[in-house]
Amino acid sequence: MKFISFLIGLMIAIFSLSANAQASKNTHQVIALGDTAKEIKTLNIHIYGKEIKVIKVGGSRVQVKTRVSISLNNLPFLNYLMESGRYKLESIPNGGDSSISIQAKFNKDIVIQEEPCSENISYVFYVPEYIENVQIHNLDPEID
């Protein structure tokens, strides 16, 4: 009898762990700043994300490490989202001044069978040392 109770408890624990599982993956991107890269002094970053780090490095390109976790335990679906370009960032020149913007491409929530799929996105930006000012504009409405 004790063995059956133990077995049922173990199955419940395993089920609850798998029910809360998430799919997670890292991706890397290099963003060229154009021919006048050394003239850029301000970088405006418009993204969705809960954790954002900026690290100054040598070079003339912005490198981005993105970590994405979705609330579904479905790695093939996360791979599809990444391959479709959902988490790619694009650079947008700011009309001749000494700044450039990097922004997220996606803006729609994921809904599967009428259930929302939550995303947790974190970034590490490796920014050239000559850029004096990095302004982060978080587009996530949950972030104050």
The more confident residue out of 112 and 18 is 112
Helix segments in 20-144, DSSP class H: 75-83
Radius of gyration of the chain (CA): 20
> Nearest 5°: CA angle at 87, between 85 and 89?
90
SS3 string, 24-57, reads: EEEEEEEEECCCCHHHCCEEEEEECCCEEEEEEE
Q: What is the pLDDT of residues 76-133, one digit of tens each?
A: 999 999 998 888 988 887 766 677 888 887 767 888 888 888 888 999 999 999 888 9
Q: For 53-76, write each residue's pLDDT tens digit.
A: 999 998 888 999 999 999 989 899
Instruction: Give the tokens for residue 100.
Output: 């450039």
